[in-house]
Every structure is written in C-alpha cells, then in structure tokens.
Amino acid sequence: MTLLREDGGILAVLELERLFGHRYYGFPVDEEELERAFSRGYAELLDQAGIIHRGAKNGGEKILHKICVLPAAAAGKALETIMKKTLRCASWKFAGHHQSHAAQAFYDAPFRSALVLSYDGGGDVHQNFEVYLGKKRTSSSTPSFLELVMVHKMNLGTVYQECATYLQEVTGDKVRKEQYNRALSGKMMGYLALGKERPEWASPLERVYRGIASQETALRDLLGKAPTIPEQRDFAASCQTVFEQILFEVFDEHLTLYPSVDGIVVSGGCALNVLSNRKLQLRYGLPFHVSPAPNDSGLSLGGAQIFTPPLDTRGSAPPAPSMYLGPLLFDRHAVPAYIEMAGLGYGARTVDVEDLASILNDGAIIAVVRGRSEFGPRALGHRSLIAVPHLPEIKQKMNRLKFREWWRPVAPMVTLEDAKRYVQSSISGFCVFVFIFLPWLTDQSLLFFSLSRDRVFAGCS
C-alpha cells in the first residue's frame, strides 16, 4: 500500500507481509477476511503517514483521494469491490504488473532516461518480461513517460523456481517437492556455488526457459529418476548460467536499439538475482540500477507513480530514494513498557558503540532496530541481525538462529570508507549485487560469506 502527495512525494509505503507477519503475504480469498485485512492495512498506512482519521464508522468523513490505483490483475473482482467500498476517490485507475515494477524502479533510479527491464515469475496475461523506455519530467510542463517497447513471452522466474524444486538439499524434503514455495529461488542462488554448469544441459534448459519445452517433463527427463547430490548441484549452477545467457541476449538486443540512455534499470522478482545483476553491470559498463524493492513489495508504489510521478529537478539525485521508507515499529507506543519490563529481570541497559563492539567480539549476535524499516526484502541495517564474521562457528550460529541451511551465505557489512580495501566492485548499499572480493583476502575470511572463491563472489552490496 502507498500514499503519495499530489506532487508525487511519498507519504508512506506499507508492505502487508510486515504488517501481518507473513512472508509472501497474499490477500485472503474470503471476502470478509479480505475486507478486514484491507481496512487494517489502510488504517496503518494513514497512521504511518501521520494522518489522524476517525473514519466514517466513528462519525468522521472518508478522506477524498485524488487518484486510487487498482492492480490490473486484482484478486478477481473482490479486491476492487472492497477498495471502492473502503476508499473515497475522485478517479480510479488500473496499473499493470510489470508497468508498476518498471515505474517504481525507474523513479528510484538516479537517471533522467533509462532502458527499464522488468522480469519475474508473474505478470498480466502471460506477460512476464517487459521492456520500457523511460524519461523523467523536469518541470510541471514536461511530463514523464514510460513507454512499453517490447514484451518477451518468457517466464524466467517460474522456471528458475521450478529448477529449485528438484534439489534435495534446497527443498529439505524429497528430490521433488511439489508445493509452491517462493523462497526456493533465493536458496538456489546461494546453493549453486556448490556446483559447476554442464554445457550439455544448456540447450534443453534454454528450451524450458523460452517456453518451447514443458517445464516438468523436460526437467525430469534431464535429471533422471534419482539424480545424485553432485548432479543436483551442477543442475543448479547450469540453471543459473542459462538464465544469465538469455538475459545477455535480451539486453544486447535492446541496448543496440537504445544506446543513448543514461542508464539501465532492472526490476521484477528476478532482479533479486544478485549474481546476474553484477554480471549484467560488468558486461555493459553503463550506470546500472536495481531498487531496494524490485519484487512485488514495490508494486503499490510503482502503480501510484505511474499516475503521479515525482518531479525530478535535482540532476542525478534519485527523486524518491526508497531504502528506508518502511513503517516504524507497529508497537512503538509500547516500547517504553518493554524497556521497563526488560530492566526488571533481563539486564536492559543503555550502551554506546564501544559497548556494542565489545559485546559482538564476545560472540553475541545482536538485533538492530532503528528508525523506519527497510522497504523491500533485504535487511539493510534498520532491521538486521549482526555479528563479527571472524569468530569460529559464528556463521553456523547465525544460520541456526534463522533456521537456515548450512550452505546459505551471509551478507558482509563494511563502511564506505573501508570498502575499497576489500572489494573491487562498486557498492550499491541495497544488497542487489554480489561483491567481488580483492585477492588478498584469505579463504578463511571468505568462508563466512560464501562457499567457494571460484564460484561465488560473496555477499551482496
């Protein structure tokens, strides 16, 4: 959910999965539950924006919104019905799935013009990969535009996830795990460091990615009935390699057609693939932007910005930096009581930076909660678990705490001043690219972040 000012300024954004404490949250199918969920989200959105509103049930009048935006692929007609029942709007608009992805990422980017590519495992009527050309307005008399220039009928995100379901160490179950699980794609991205791509698998996998061959039949035939663990690891690496090769072909095509853009912007759920993002950035040498919320968490903001784009008058600065646009603590009013309660028996105390450094060096894992939460799926220092990486067994301890598999990497954190001592790649701060570490770092120091110096660059930036 998103609330904008008339000039496109952001008043509040709210990811419902944070509000309801359920990852990959989706609105309920039951209409009564759907109405309660939407009303709760809307009330929290107003609260986060600092708008005091009694509501019609309490003798107040509904707020008049100038424009309200509905997703083009709403949950049937139910969501549209409940939104129109709950909200008072002068005008109703519809926004497409990838159109919203593209808008959110484009207006977050520090470019006047950009080639914008949005690709994931969903979309509107099988449109899973869309390419846009964008240009921002610089005054109220020069409108922004985001023009759709191509639709590629490829569902890269769904195939990538399907590949992950064949990996026993990723699913934690049988070799073939049937249920739909969006977390598997991110897990496979870390897991593939254990394998090596097999060239003989490239052509069959490409046919699946391009929709020429049936996903289940082709992937099952490729792996056989009882693939070994080494085969499964190589399969993961091969799925990533073919995914990247297809992206190279699409990007090559469109950058040839539009070579004068200021930069490249990518969005959609597949833009969370930090491995492909870094390779694309290095391949083209152009300014390359991935927003902190390229997945569906950014859809409501992008949908709103299609019809109320921000006014960019600050050169290369992003008009609406969204890194920490998330909500304040939902129970922030009770925090003083929590502190008082903790002090009664749990040793709560005020600490400074030196105290924290000492606690971390003693082997503790510390939860950091400050200000507004991150906007998007990454923990970027406002809602993070932090630890000192050089301590023995600390990575295993972190993964156990988070109920993660042993092979999952952990993101490094370093000050901007010190970053050049450790990495030879650019730093984004959004955890949307992998680091490329400098050669002087020891294998031991890298083990906290990844599994292999050869296969994974390590961490993300």
- The whole-angstrom separation of Cα 183 and Cα 277 is 19
Nearest-CA neighbor of 122 among 144, 147, 106, 100? 100
- The whole-angstrom separation of Cα 248 and Cα 270 is 14
In DSSP terms, which residues pair with 443 in a beta bridge?
none
Residue 428 covered by a domain: yes
CATH number at residue 369: 3.90.870.20
For residues 399 and 406, the answer to whether their CB atoms sit within 8 Å is yes
For residues 152 and 131, the answer to whether their CB atoms sit within 8 Å is yes
96: phi then psi, degrees, rounded to nearest 5? -75, 160
120: phi then psi, degrees, rounded to nearest 5? -160, -155
Domain hosting 31: range is 2-95
- In the chain (461 residues long), the average pLDDT of successive 10-residue segments reads 91 91 86 93 92 61 90 75 93 94 93 94 82 82 82 92 92 62 89 94 95 86 91 97 97 94 95 94 92 92 92 50 82 82 68 90 90 89 88 88 87 78 72 78 49 42 51
DSSP string, 194-207: G----GGGHHHHHH
Last residue of a domain, one of 35, 68, 95: 95
pLDDT at residue number 456 = 37
pLDDT at residue number 55 = 58
Tokens of 258: 């539009």
Residue 167 covered by a domain: no
334: phi then psi, degrees, rounded to nearest 5? -95, 0
Residue 14 covered by a domain: yes
- The whole-angstrom separation of Cα 398 and Cα 401 is 5
Number of H helices and number of E strands within the chain?
A: 17, 11
Residue 212 covered by a domain: no
Exposure of 108 in the CB half-sphere (CA atoms within 13 A): 30
- The whole-angstrom separation of Cα 92 and Cα 84 is 9
CA angle 420, 354, 372 (to 5 degrees): 75
Residue 183 covered by a domain: no
Residue with tokens 């040793």: 347
| Number of independent structural domains in the chain | 2
For residues 88 and 64, the answer to whether their CB atoms sit within 8 Å is yes
User: How many other CB atoms are there within 10 angstroms of residue 309's CB atom?
Assistant: 23
Residue with tokens 């080639």: 115
pLDDT at residue number 217 = 87
Last residue of a domain, one of 45, 70, 95: 95
Exposure of 390 in the CB half-sphere (CA atoms within 13 A): 4
pLDDT at residue number 145 = 83
Tokens of 51: 């708008």
SS3 label, residue 149: strand
Q: Which helix (H) or strand (E) holds 117?
A: strand 113-124
Residue 382 covered by a domain: yes
Alpha helices (H) along 324-393: 335-345, 353-361
Last residue of a domain, one of 95, 120, 148: 95
SS3 label, residue 187: helix
- The whole-angstrom separation of Cα 405 and Cα 382 is 24
Residue 84 covered by a domain: yes
Which class for 220: exposed (0-12), middle (13-18), buried (19 or more C-beta within 10 A)? Answer: middle
pLDDT at residue number 138 = 66
Residue 69 covered by a domain: yes
